[in-house]
């Protein structure tokens, strides 16, 4: 297990380096002198230009610059954004709201997606199954920003069931509606995945054996069907974190959640490249780590998988 963990962590390194190198290359290796951007219209005096060149390692070759950036990234120094604020402190302020939002979305999609999917899969072909299958496709097809506006309009404004926008504190209760909007598309996908896996496993030999042994239906469903169906779902939930982070940009914009997505959106509209790169790099790290955690979960879900 420990050896497997080390191996996976080592495999993570080239992916992480490659992804950040890609982002770094895309943003920093574009035509135009960064000094022009830093000095504005009037231009710098030679002394200031030399100091800036030294500060940002502008004289170094590309790979040296990149390694400076990675070194800074790993030590938590993400540079400053266009308004001169430390990117790391902006992120520290914005992260809690986004994490709360993502947790609500993940819990929503996991609990409801798996429950509905289990029920549909056990009664494959029934009315519930057919209805849910079509409805889930509809939910998947509606883009998240349309979904967000519609939910905000009806649930928040017309019916007054939830606050249409989020307060500055972004409490758990404020974030329920945006969290559900964020998780809705993935909920439909979790439902479909669970349904397929459950209906496949329900007719497996070991399930028939378990029933023949006289186990209760509840135990057969819980231990023999559901647990065996969880591997594709767990993989999806890990991958889904990437989609959630993309979706958070839209959802946080609509509901005015003071989170990472909102900051990223602001940086985008301002053309604040350092901020965009930093935020995306942090998101890539989270995404990679989440997928590692999912890999480790496999062992718990399916003891046959040994990490040799």
Partner 1 sequence: MREANMENNDAADRDLDPEARAHEAAMREIADTADTPAGSHQKDLGGLSTGIMMEHFVADVGSTPVTATDSRSAEGAPVSLWRDAWRQLRKKPTFVIAALLIVLVIVVALFPQLFWTENPSAAATQCLLENSNGKASAGHPMGFTAQGCDVYSRVIAGTRASLMVGLFTTIGVVVIGGIIGALAGYFGGWIDGVLARLGDVFFALPLILGALVVMQLPFFKAHRGVWTLVVVLVLFGWPQIARIMRGAVVEVRNADYVVSARSLGVSSLGILMRHIIPNAMAPVIVIATISLGTFIVAESTLSYLGIGLPPGMMSWGNDISDAKDAFRSNPMPVFWPGLALSLTVLSFIMLGDALRDALDPKARKK
Give the residues lining the site for partner 1 (CB under 8 A): 14-16, 18-19, 22-23, 26-27, 30-32, 124, 134, 137-138, 140-146, 149-150, 153, 157, 199-200, 203, 242-243, 245-247, 249-250, 253, 264-265, 268-269, 271, 273, 276-277, 280, 283-284, 287-288
Question: Which tokens hold the place of 235?
Answer: 């993989």
CA distance 295 to 1: 11
Between residues 39 and 243, which has the closer beta carbon with respect to partner 1?
A: 243
CA distance 30 to 125: 55
- In the complex, the smallest distance separating the C-beta of residue 264 from partner 1, rounded to whole angstroms, is 7
Inter-CA distances, 19 with 66, 95, 164, Å? 12, 21, 36
Between residues 201 and 211, which has the closer beta carbon with respect to partner 1?
A: 201
Between residues 67 and 172, which has the closer beta carbon with respect to partner 1?
A: 67
Between residues 31 and 46, which has the closer beta carbon with respect to partner 1?
A: 31
Between residues 35 and 268, which has the closer beta carbon with respect to partner 1?
A: 268
- In the complex, the smallest distance separating the C-beta of residue 29 from partner 1, rounded to whole angstroms, is 9
> Which secondary structure element, helix H or strand E, spans residue 144, and what is its range?
helix 144-151
Between residues 134 and 169, which has the closer beta carbon with respect to partner 1?
A: 134
- In the complex, the smallest distance separating the C-beta of residue 143 from partner 1, rounded to whole angstroms, is 5
CA distance 39 to 21: 26
- In the complex, the smallest distance separating the C-beta of residue 254 from partner 1, rounded to whole angstroms, is 8
- In the complex, the smallest distance separating the C-beta of residue 46 from partner 1, rounded to whole angstroms, is 26
User: What number of helices (H) and strands (E) belong to the chain?
Assistant: 13, 0
Inter-CA distances, 202 with 118, 119, 148, 302, Å? 10, 12, 36, 17
SS3 149: helix
Q: What are residue 86's DSSP bridge partners? A: 80
The answer to whether the beta carbons of residues 174 and 167 sit under 8 Å apart is yes
Between residues 23 and 58, which has the closer beta carbon with respect to partner 1?
A: 23
SS3 80: strand
**Among candidate residues 16, 17, 23, the one with its CA nearest the CA of residue 277:** 23
- In the complex, the smallest distance separating the C-beta of residue 301 from partner 1, rounded to whole angstroms, is 22
- In the complex, the smallest distance separating the C-beta of residue 78 from partner 1, rounded to whole angstroms, is 15
Question: Which value, in Å, is the radius of gyration of the alpha carbons in the chain?
Answer: 24
């Amino acid at each position: 297990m420990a050896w497997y963990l080390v191996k996976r962590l080592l495999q993570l390194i080239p992916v992480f380096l490659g992804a950040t190198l890609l982002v770094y290359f895309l943003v920093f290796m574009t035509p135009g002198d960064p000094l022009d951007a830093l000095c504005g219209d009037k231009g710098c005096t030679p002394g200031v230009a030399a100091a800036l060149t030294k500060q940002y390692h502008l004289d170094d070759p590309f790979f040296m610059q990149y390694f400076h950036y990675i070194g800074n990234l790993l030590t938590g120094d993400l540079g400053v954004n266009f308004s001169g604020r430390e990117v790391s402190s902006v992120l520290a302020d914005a992260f809690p709201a986004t994490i709360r939002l993502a947790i609500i979305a993940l819990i929503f999609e996991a609990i409801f997606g798996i429950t509905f999917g289990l029920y549909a899969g056990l009664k494959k072909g029934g009315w519930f199954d057919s209805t849910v299958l079509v409805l889930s496709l509809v939910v998947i097809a509606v883009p998240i920003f349309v979904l967000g506006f519609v939910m905000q309009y009806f649930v928040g404004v017309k019916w007054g069931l939830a606050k249409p926008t989020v307060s500055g504190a972004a409490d758990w209760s404020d974030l329920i509606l945006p969290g559900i909007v964020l998780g809705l598309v993935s909920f439909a996908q979790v439902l479909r995945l669970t349904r397929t896996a459950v209906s496949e496993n329900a007719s497996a030999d070991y399930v028939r054996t378990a029933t023949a042994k006289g186990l209760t239906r509840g135990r057969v469903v819980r231990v023999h069907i559901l647990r065996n169906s969880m591997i594709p779902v767990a993989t999806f939930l890990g991958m889904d974190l990437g989609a959630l982070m993309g979706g958070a940009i839209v959802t946080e914009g609509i509901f005015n959640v003071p989170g990472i997505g909102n900051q990223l959106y602001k940086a985008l509209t301002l053309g604040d490249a350092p901020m965009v790169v930093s935020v995306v790099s942090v998101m890539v790290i989270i995404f990679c780590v989440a997928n590692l955690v999912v890999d480790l979960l496999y062992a718990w879900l399916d003891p046959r998988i040994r990490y040799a």
